[in-house]
Amino acid sequence: MALLQILEFPDPRLRTRAVPVDQVTERIQTLIDDMFETMYTAPGIGLAASQVDVHERIIVMDLSDDHSAPRVFINPEIKVIDEDLGSYDEGCLSVPGFYETVQRPKVIAVKAL
């Protein structure tokens, strides 16, 4: 596995539209492994492929304290289930040191490969 460079704001590559993944190849699996290593080392709880300058629709995340719940979302589609909003403190590995309280739907469904 390899540590990947995380792009930081205001790098214009962060605005590049990601394309769908057609199939999970060995290259994609290696990318996912490298993204997890990069995210855990940063440290963070989520990382999109675009943040490491790979503009494909892949997100990795792990909300556990002990790295025991890794999740991969390929070509994710989000559907709001409940319109009620909750406030959450969030940060971003591409904007180090910046945190903000954001409003997000409390219940969503995610469809992905």
Q: Map out the domains of the chain with their CATH numbers.
A: 12-111 (3.90.45.10)
| Mean pLDDT over each residue of the chain, to the nearest integer | 98
Question: Contact at 8 Å (CB) between 61 and 103?
Answer: no
| Of 5, 102, 82, residue with least CA distance to 50 | 5
Rounded Cα distance between 84 and 107, Å, is: 8
111: confidence class by pLDDT, cuts 50, 70, 90: very high
pLDDT (tens digit per residue) in 53-105: 999 999 999 999 999 999 999 999 999 999 999 999 999 999 999 999 999 99
| Identity of the amino acid at 77 | E
Which pTM does this prediction carry?
Answer: 0.94
At residue 1, the pLDDT reads: 82
| 3-state secondary structure string across 41-91 | HCCCCEEEHHHHCCCECEEEECCCCCCCCCEEEECCEEEEEEEEEEEEEEE
Q: Is the peptide bond before 96 cis (omega within 30 degrees of 0)?
A: no
pLDDT (tens digit per residue) in 1-48: 899 999 999 999 999 999 999 999 999 999 999 999 999 999 999 999
At residue 83, the pLDDT reads: 93
Sheet of 58-61: strand order equals: 46-48, 58-61, 71-74
Q: Is the peptide bond before 76 cis (omega within 30 degrees of 0)?
A: no
